[in-house]
Structure 1
Amino acid sequence: MGAAPAPPTAGLDVDAVTHRITRTALRPGPVGSVGLELEALLVERAHPGRRVPWDRVTDLLAGVGPLPGGSRITLEPGGQVELSGPPADGVATAVAALRADRALLADALAADGLALALLGSDPLRPPQRLSPAHRYAAMEEHFTVAGCRDAGLSMMTGTASVQVNLEAGPADGWAARVALAHRLGPVLVAVSACSPAAAGRPGGWRSCRQQIWGDLDQARCGPVLTGDDPVGEWAAYALAAPVMLVRDPTTGRSEPVRTRTSLRDWAAGITPLGGRAPTADDVDYHLTTLFPPVRPRGYLEIRYLDVAPEPWWPALAAVTATLLDDPVAADRAAAASAPVAGRWSDAACLGLADAALRTAAVGCLSAALDAVPDGLRDDVAGLLALAEQGRSPGDAVLAAAGTADPLAVLCAAIDLPEASR
């Protein structure tokens, strides 16, 4: 006899959806473990103005063996390369492993005439989706219907970041920890700014990457309101956010949602997307389409840093982890960053040319320098010296390029990491 068909997965109501989100939002435990993710623009040295074909990249990366630091290699929709390191015991260990993996990957790419450019936004090439995955095609269609196609396509295919993943910590400290992660956002956006141009146009912003994120639907990409209940606030954010994609249970394909329907309305039966109520898998998938600058996933994803060439990305990772995990540095950073809390747009546009942001940055970086692991102290000291001048890594790239020409900026970002080895 053949096996009986699997019973249909039961739909969830609003209470059940809320419960599923809250129970997975944050996981209590000690701080100290750090995970890092490093994205980079992929460039063909002989033809930097055109994107590297998808099949060429996937074939090449398939031949790259296991990396010494254990990072996983993936591709973003525009062909950006991402290294995702495993959780490590402290930021120094995480940085050392990711540095080794980046170096090996860069050597493998160089043998095929390719290079990694560590910039927050592609200064030269227009946005273009290369990935054939249904998810990204559906995301592009949703962004179009939502009225932010250009920003959505730019975000997916022309931006890169260094992401710092930190433990949530003890439950009784969640409110203060999540609030500090958000309060540090404008300061660290300004400190990390390394995307002075996008798609062939000088941006006029210190962080064009953050500008792009600001142009997206803020119900999906804006900061989560923080107070005394970060888990409940995350659930409220997720329930209010419009559903972007629904997977067909038969084919597994992601289908775009062409109406502005919140997860709450779907779960309440007001708009039964796909002709049905949401399942647990639907809720989990919805959470992967929310991109706030600080995203709870059991741990905390810090998503607001531009990627930058050596030695800046290791310094940015070290500063972020130290200011959140070291209690003395955290207290000092909370005080230093308070006057500029919420100034996300100013941080992206003005960067450290703004006096208040510069003062806050120097205070935060000084606090980090006093507590950062010894092996990263010189990197952080260099970042502090840059900030004291009102400059960010993007200014260092522009200085190396000698011009704001997008091609020169892209090439300078390629060569800076090699020169600093």
Structure 2
Amino acid sequence: MARDQIDMTPLQSRDELVAWLEAGVKPESEFRIGTEHEKTPFTLEGHQPVPYEGAKGIGALLEGMKLLLGWEPIMERGNIIGLYDVTGGGAISLEPGGQFELSGAPVETVHQTQSELMAHLAQVREIATPLGIGFLGLGMTPSWSRAQIPVMPKGRYKIMRNYMPKVGKYGLDMMFRTCTVQTNLDFSSEADMVKKLRVSLALQPIATALFANSPFTEGKPNGFLSFRSEIWRDTDNARSGMIPFAFEDGMGYERYVDYALDVPMYFVKRGDEYIDVSGSSFRDFFAGNNKILPGERPTLSDWANHLSTIFPEVRLKRYLEMRGADGVPWGRLPALPAFWVGLLYDNDSLDAAWDIVRHWTAPERQALRDDVPRFGFKARIKDRYLFEIAKECLILSHAGLRRRGRIDHLGRDESRFLEPLERIIETGRSPAEEMLEKFNGPWKGSVEPAYQEYAF
């Protein structure tokens, strides 16, 4: 989320927390598609991380983008840390290690997602190229150690950086070395939200396999196809994972609120200041029992901020956020929204997808999620390879997009954006497997060529 919310009304009842989520309900005619993607900046010369400071730093890049786009700057303690498009709703923000994120505006079709992406890349290039900055489309930085990566000047990241090592092995890697592409989709009722949440949670490992793109750590194969996905398995299990309660009877907004109330907080924002409350629950804060802010009650802003620090494989806010995919090069980015829109925004495809996953148990879903970072398409559930299920889902998504019938100016529907995924299924190899073949072949055991071949 680009801006930490600004509604400072103190909360009186749990019903308000539920109502905040419920306000996301929209009629189908108003369903939108939001796509967020992160990319790693690197110096064109030497392929090094880009610092925030200096004439050729990330700060200068954001200043240049501000002048070019006329977007509102997001400032923190005198530093520009992002940009916000007042008219369209898009935003540019920085992840902890300088990963450059476009949070796309809510659009109606995947064609518009593609147009937005192409415009963004042209704009970024115009400013970045003279600064000697390129961008990499991988799920994880392939050659840098964590120590090499500069820290962006954002207060919330300082708090997270101190807290992460207490709760998992890979939290700092998640913050500083990973990139993702995400799709945000709407729901028309509580029942529709629950159905979409269940289907997308169960099938998130398919997106992980189709987009697996992080097989290298510090210049060497790391033994995984999506090390980014592996990182999330040991980042902070109190706030991430496959949320099995979503499949239990009685699931709805209230059940998610009860889950979120017990997730440990990171921070509370007051004015310009981020107050470290890490490890304490929102439930205690809600009861006025936060040790750092005794007697103080949370606001709606605090609630919205807190929900944005929960990281399950699919996240509920006022929309559903698909979180299972590695960052990929630009040509493959629109395939992610296309895949999920075809499955979730077409009722026949959604029903058919539910039929695929409805008999899976929580331990089976978890085992699949645990196996997919290493085995990709070769992971299994019940007696099926993930590859077969991915193939089936791609057919369903394709059919869903055809039935949606959103046509571009050349008369093509959105199913054309699935082509990169169809090629992956044809070859039977995930992007990471293709990259490992290059590493062991033409790249001669070096990851440096990735900075050309997988750059934006």
**1:129 to partner: Cα distance:** 4.7
TM-score, reference length from structure 2: 0.80
Alignment of 1:260-275 (within 5 A): 260-268=279-287, 271-275=290-294
* Distance across 2 between alignment mates of 1:44 and 1:401: 21
- Residue 116 of structure 1: how far off its partner (Å): 1.0
Cα 1:403–1:23 change in 2 (3 A) is farther
Provide TM-score, normalisation by structure 1.
Answer: 0.86
User: Structure 1 residue aligned with 2:396, among 354, 364, 367?
Assistant: 367
CA distance in 1, matches of 2:444, 2:105: 34
Residues 187-210 of structure 1: per-residue CA shift (max 9 Å, x gap): 211111111123444221111111
Q: What do residues 109-136 of structure 1 show as CA deviations (whole Å, max 9, x unaligned)?
A: 2232221111111111122351122111
Query: Cα distance, 1:246 vs. partner?
Result: 3.0
Q: Could you tell me which residue of structure 2 aligns to residue 134 of structure 1?
A: 155
Deviates more, 1:74-83 or 1:224-233: 224-233
Are the aligned partners of 1:139 and 1:244 in contact in 2 as well (CA < 8 Å)? yes
Residue 239 (structure 1) aligned with residue 261 (structure 2): yes
- What residue number does 2:297 align with? 278
- CA distance in 1 between partners of 2:444 and 2:129 (Å): 22
Q: Is the contact made by 1:178 and 1:230 (CA closer than 8 Å) also made in structure 2?
A: no
Whether the 8 Å CA contact 1:106–1:116 is kept in 2: the answer is no
Counterparts of 1:407 and 1:285 in 2: how far apart (Å)? 43
In structure 2, do the counterparts of structure 1 residues 189 and 116 end up closer, same or farther at CA, with 3 Å as the change threshold?
same
Cα distance in structure 2, aligned partners of 1:107 and 1:401:
31
Instruction: Quote the residue 1:3 is aligned against.
Output: none
Q: Which residue of 1 aligns with 2:371?
A: 346
2:420 & 2:266 partners in 1: Cα distance?
A: 42
Aligned partners of 1:44, 1:407: CA distance in 2, in Å? 21
Identity across the alignment (%): 28
Supply the distance in 2 between the matched residues of 1:406 and 1:195 (Cα, whole angstroms): 18
Whether the 8 Å CA contact 1:353–1:390 is kept in 2: the answer is no
d(CA) in 1 for partners of 2:444, 2:198? 37
The one-letter code sitting in structure 2 at the alignment partner of 1:383 is L
**Matches of 2:119 and 2:413, distance apart in 1:** 15
- Residue 400 of structure 1 deviates from its aligned partner by 4.7
User: What are the residue-to-residue correspondences of 1:395-414 with 2, within 5 Å?
Assistant: 395-401=433-439, 408-409=446-447, 411-412=449-450, 414=452
Which residue number corresponds to residue 5 of structure 2? Answer: none
Answer whether contact 1:294 1:301 (CA < 8 A) is retained: yes
CA contact (8 A) 2:214 2:432 kept: yes
Q: Aligned partners of 2:317 and 2:454: how far apart in 1? A: 34
Partner SS state of residue 274, structure 1: coil
**Matched residue of 2:161: which SS?**
helix
Provide the rounded CA distance (Å) in 2 between the counterparts of 1:24 and 1:404: 53
Q: Could you tell me which of 226, 231, 234 is aligned with 2:246?
A: 226
Residues 114 and 215 (structure 1 numbering): CA distance in 2 closer, same or farther, change over 3 Å?
Answer: same
CA–CA distance in structure 1, aligned partners of residues 308 and 223 of structure 2: 31
Residue segments in structure 2 that go unaligned for 5+ positions in a row: 1-7, 72-84, 407-411
Aligned-pair distance for 1:304?
1.7
Structure 1 residue 98 displacement after superposition:
1.5
1:181 to 200, 207, 212: 200
Q: Which residue of 2 aligns with 1:25?
A: 21
Q: Structure 1, residues 266-301: CA drift from partner, whole Å, max 9, x if none?
A: 334555332333321433332222122212221111
Alpha carbons of 1:96 and 1:300: their partners in 2 closer, same or farther (altered >3 Å)? same
3-state SS in 2 of match to 1:88:
coil
Q: Distance in 1 between matches of 2:152 and 2:140?
A: 18
Cα distance in 2 between the residues matched to 1:408 and 1:362: 32
1:116-172 deviations in Å (ceiling 9; x for gaps): 11111111112235112211111111213x243x52211111111111011122334
In the alignment, which residue of structure 1 is the partner of 2:418? 380
Given that residues 293 and 304 in structure 1 are in contact (C-alpha distance below 8 angstroms), is that contact kept between their aligned partners in structure 2?
yes
2:325 aligned with 1:318? no
1:401 is displaced (CA, Å) by 4.8
Q: What's the CA shift string for 1:283-329, capped at 9, x where partnerless?
A: 33322221222122211111221111143222122112211111122
The CA deviation at 1:91 is 2.0
What letter corresponds to residue 57 of structure 1 in structure 2? I
Partners of 1:269 and 1:111 lie apart in 2 by 52
- Counterparts of 1:9-408 in structure 2, within 5 Å, are 16=13, 18-26=14-22, 27-31=24-28, 32-48=31-47, 50-55=48-53, 56-64=57-65, 65-66=68-69, 71-127=90-146, 128-144=149-165, 146-148=166-168, 151-224=170-243, 225-227=245-247, 228-247=250-269, 249=270, 252-257=272-277, 260-268=279-287, 271-280=290-299, 281-337=301-357, 341-342=365-366, 343-354=368-379, 356-372=385-401, 374=412, 376-401=414-439, 408=446
Range with bigger deviation, 34-43 or 352-361: 352-361
Q: Which stretch of structure 1 is more off in the superposition, 352-361 or 387-396? A: 387-396
Q: Is the 8 A contact 1:401 1:408 kept in 2?
A: yes
Displacement of 1:45 in angstroms is: 1.8
Select between 36-45 and 123-132 the one with higher mean Cα deviation: 123-132
Structure 1 Cα separation of the partners of residues 112 and 283 of structure 2: 41
